[in-house]
Structure 1
Amino acid sequence: MSIKKEDIARVKGMGFLLNRGTEKFSGRVVAPGSVFTAEQVKALAECAERFGNGTVAFTVRLCAEIVGIPYENIEPARAFLRQAGLEFGGTGAKVRPVVACKGTTCVFGNYDTQALARHLHEKYYEGWSNVALPHKFKIAVGGCPNSCAKPSLNDFGIEGHRAPVYDSEKCRGCKVCAVQTSCPVKAVSMEDGKAKIDTNACISCGVCVGKCPFQAVAHESETVYAIYVGGTWGKTTRNGTRLSRMVRADEIDALIEKTMLWFRENAYQKERLGKAIDRLGVDALEKALFGDDLLARKEEILAAPIRTAP
């Protein structure tokens, strides 16, 4: 190996991962909002042909990887893609690229997931790019309980819900109830000629919303969000802890920031958020997330060194 170990580590921090058994690298390109434009896709293809081996792979987090880049081509590849508004990156103990499902266009999506992901990309992936964390911090934006983006397996997962708003006065007691037949969890039954929604069984997936032609179930209802924290997958899988209440859109930014501040203050070096939650308890985390102390001490927390395990 003619490339020094310190140079391999240095470019890894820039998003270039050594290809096994070679002296070439895969360069990870971040997609804001999990979407590339057509022009950006053309730029990726040209970059792969000019600086890599002519192939592009896509990651689970919907980034692109240009494969087979020689070490001496790394800087030219970075400069080329920067002209297309793209950056290599997405590695290290910091906020990782935000992944979003197709809720923006999917028939099951309860909100514009890609718009939220772009906002979070700018505010946290870019805005916190120089903030060292104890370990990686992954954010996933999911549009509904189908969980295609696996929010419960991320450090901070967002899952959109829409609870049915039912007006029994508008129910005509149809022989074939569109609300009942659309419910994937059989939470709707007919009693005394009226639809009845079992709120304990309902998962607020939003599928039934707008299905009634007489608007017994409101065509538009507020989107609320289930939040998962501390999820991981792989060798040490941990399902994320779901916070005890749904939140509104205007609460999400503060919750992400508080979660990262709590993580930075309480986790040990190289300890994932889920491990810190298990060590310190969900109650302690929730008390901090739904309070104001962390934001009040933000500068102090960010200035402090990351803790080392005893």
Structure 2
Amino acid sequence: MFYRKKEAAQKFGNGKIALTTRLTLEVQGLTYDNIEPFNTFIAQAGLYTGGTGSRVRPIVACKGTVCIHGLIDTQELARELHETFYKGWYDVKLPHKFKIGIGGCPNNCIKPGLNDFGIMGQRVPAYNPDDCNGCKKCSVVEVCPMKNAHLDEDGIMQIDWDTCNNCGKCVDACNFDCVTEAKAGYKIMVGGIWGKRQRLGTVIDEIYTKEQVFEMIERALLLYREQGKTGERFGVFIRKSGPPAGCEAPDRNPVVYTIDGTQA
């Protein structure tokens, strides 16, 4: 496939290929007359052009499936979203571009919160201080990248839940299994914008299943298509109208769903 891209760039363009920030390839130097022959040529390798305009843009995902920090299969999710929303909604005109980003963990490598719809893998820990054996050298304290775990005056490990980012590093770290997995799934951020004007996406204070993520994206796109103004980014739209129905951040404790779809 890569040889085909190189051959296409040399045959129809000026031989130069650039990588875009959304992990697509830009073949430079094509003339208007070469566009159709170029499309026919790359189609033989299963490739096609696109990726711009007021529509769902190419899906971006980190390498969460091979990264030691990854909590979800980002590449498989990206493929499914690509088929459903990039290809499935390709001919649907939106008020503006709509970007979807998938991060495998809270390390935020691809900055999902700066996409119109951001997805982040989560692994929520469960811990009861009564189960702590009071080890002088606590493996949970050592492994927590946020420094949220500490030993109190009695030598019992405590966790600051207010700043826990659900990276899951503490899960299975304790030699006595004091910290376990309470739930796992997907965190959602909506309305992120990056460019001349920036807006950090609104965090929806729940943990979702994959099925719910697909439902939320469809709900967001339908609302944006019907009620958004031409030229208005999704983040500007929800800043005025609020997140789509069913995506509002709750006032109390979050409703959490596990990977298998059951409510925790």
- Output the TM-score relative to the length of structure 2: 0.87
Residue 184 of structure 2 contacts residue 207 of structure 2 at CA under 8 Å; is this kept in 1? no
- Indicate whether 1:211 and 2:178 are aligned: no
Match of 1:278 in 2: 239
The letter of the residue matching 1:181 is E
Determine whether 1:182 maps to 2:133.
no
Alpha carbons of structure 1 residues 179 and 49: separation in structure 2 relative to 1, 3 Å = same
Q: Post-superposition shift, 1:230? A: 1.0
Does the 8 Å CA contact 2:101/2:117 hold for their aligned counterparts?
yes
Once the 2 structures are TM-superposed, how far is the Cα of residue 221 of structure 1 from its aligned partner? Answer: 5.6
Of residues 178, 195, 201, the one that matches 2:163 is 201
Cα shift readout 1:145-174 (whole Å, capped 9, x = no counterpart): 111111111111111111123365664433
3-state SS, counterpart of residue 287 of structure 1: coil
Identify the residue that residue 91 of structure 1 maps to in structure 2. 52
**CA displacement at 1:251 relative to structure 2:** 0.7
Q: Deviations over 1:155-206 (max 9, x none)?
A: 1111111112336566443332221111121111123333222212211112
**Shift in CA distance, 104/196, structure 1 to aligned 2, threshold 3 Å:** same
Task: List per-residue Cα deviations over 1:114-137 (Å, max 9, x = no partner).
Answer: 110100000000011111111111
- CA distance in 1: counterparts of 2:4 and 2:174, whole angstroms: 46
Q: RMSD between aligned alpha carbons?
A: 1.9
Contact 1:134 1:272 in 2 (8 A): yes
Indicate the larger mover: 185-194 or 128-137: 185-194
Distance in 2 separating the partners of 1:189 and 1:64: 47
Q: Which has the higher helix share?
A: 1
- Give the Cα separation in 2 of the matches to 1:208 and 1:288: 31
SS at match of 1:262: helix
**Aligned 1:63-74 pairs, distance under 5 A:** 63-74=24-35
Deviation at 1:107, TM superposition (A): 1.2
Matches within 5 A, 1:13-28: none
Q: 2:121 aligns with which of 154, 160, 183?
A: 160
SS in structure 2 at match of 1:243: strand
Could you tell me which of 221, 224, 227 is aligned with 2:188? 227
1:86, distance to aligned residue in structure 2 (A): 1.2
Residue 45 of structure 1, CA deviation: 1.7
Separation (CA, whole Å) in 1 of partners of 2:130 and 2:10: 64
Do structure 1's residue 108 and structure 2's residue 66 form an aligned pair?
no
Q: Compute the displacement of 1:49 (Å).
A: 2.1
| Aligned match of 1:131 | 92
* Partner secondary structure for residue 152 of structure 1: helix
Aligned pair partner of 1:260 in 196, 221, 225: 221
Q: Number of residues paired by the alignment? A: 247
In structure 2, do the counterparts of structure 1 residues 222 and 41 end up closer, same or farther at CA, with 3 Å as the change threshold? farther
Deviation, structure 1 residue 255: 0.2
2:132 and 2:210 mapped to 1: Cα distance?
A: 30
Query: Gaps spanning 5+ residues in structure 2: where?
Result: 249-264
User: Using the alignment, how far apart are the partners of 1:169 and 1:44 within structure 2?
Assistant: 60
Q: Deviations over 1:70-89 (max 9, x none)?
A: 22222122112111111111
Q: Counterparts of 1:201 and 1:276 in 2: how far apart (Å)?
A: 29
Asked whether the 8 Å contact 2:63–2:104 carries over to 1, the reply is yes
Distance in 1 of aligned mates of 2:212 and 2:36: 40
Where structure 1 has 5 or more consecutive residues not aligned to the other structure, the ranges are 1-39, 291-310
Residues 249, 169 of structure 1: alpha-carbon distance in 2 compared, 3 angstrom cutoff: farther
User: Does the aligned pair in 2 maintain the 1:258–1:289 contact within 8 Å?
Assistant: no
Q: Which of 1 and 2 has higher RCO (CA within 8 Å, sep 6+)?
A: 2
Q: TM-score, normalised by structure 1?
A: 0.74
For residue 101 of structure 2, the aligned residue among 140, 156, 174 is 140
